[in-house]
Amino acid sequence: MYADTKIRRNTIRDITKLKGERPVVSLTAYTAPMAAQLDPHVDFLLVGDSLAMVLYGMESTIGVSLDTMIEHTKAVMRGAQKAMVILDMPFGSFEESKEQAFHNASRVLRETGCAAVKLEGGAAMAETIKFLVDRNIPVMAHIGLRPQAVHVMGGYRTQGRNQDERTQTIEDAYAIQKAGAFSVVLEGVMEPLAVEITKKLDIITIGIGASPDCDGQILVVEDMLGYFPSNAKFVKRYAEVGQTIDAAVRQYAEDVKARSFPAKEHTYRPKS
Ligand code: KIV
């Protein structure tokens, strides 16, 4: 599955120069086989903290640890040869101080070999972003709906519905650009606001529940494959993998009960 011919991995420069040329294609990945399968089709893969919910069945993204994120990122790096890989800094791993953020983000780059970190936050995180970028850690920011802030935001609410939210989101976008982030995820942002921010910024905007006019798009791969029970409006289901698995496992259970599996061709018998 993992071809051994050396392919050059995309760099931040490869991705950022796509602004105005063509949309950036990205998806989440948490495991080596999935990364290998997505690799030919995407510009970058994000090891999102959404894995807390999608893989580990947690109620929110808040409970996942940095150690867990690092192990999954190592797996994704082993699976993907071409895609740039970004690790999503989990809740509690960067907010305390810029020094804490550097300590943890430098560990991420050293231990995983991935190219960049993503962190949630706008103007409030600008100083931290600058501190990291000044010390050679590329940062993708994440503004609009921030799942790690679910409790203070009062749920998973689309941002930019009123003037205060619009002003705050634009301020956030300018602040993280000024701090040196190379890109920003716009999650759950009203479409006109996502378009406005994309036009105003020089850095690439990656939309999820935002606008087709963002500089690129991202989805949680299990959502778009129909393998996670998401009913979010912004998710287009490109497949129904959950149904395929269900049918296969149902058949397996029937075969086992009927003793029709394993069949002759699946068993080892002495040659007579
Ligand atoms: O955790 C995640 O998967 C994300 C993306 C969907 C942007 O943050």
User: 12-240 — its CATH code?
Assistant: 3.20.20.60
| Beta strands, E only, 115-223 | 116-120, 139-144, 183-187, 204-208, 216-219
Provide the pLDDT for residue 3.
55
Q: What is the whole-number distance in angstroms between the Cα of residue 270 and the centre of ligand 1?
A: 52
Alpha helix (H) ranges present in the chain?
A: 12-16, 32-38, 51-54, 66-79, 98-112, 126-134, 150-153, 163-179, 191-200, 221-224, 241-257
208, 223, 235, best to mutate for ligand 1 pocket (most atoms within 8 Å of CB): 208
Check residue 1 and give its pLDDT: 58
CA dihedral of residues 86, 166, 16, 75 (deg, nearest 10): 10
What residues are annotated to the active site? 187
Measured distance CA(118)–CA(62) in Å, rounded? 15
Mutation choice for ligand 1 from 38, 61, 150, CB with most ligand atoms inside 8 A:
61
User: Is residue 183 lining ligand 1, measured as CB closer than 6 Å?
Assistant: no
Can you list the residues of the chain whose pLDDT is less than 50?
none
Instruction: Please work out whether the CB of residue 29 comes within 6 Å of at least one atom of ligand 1.
Output: no
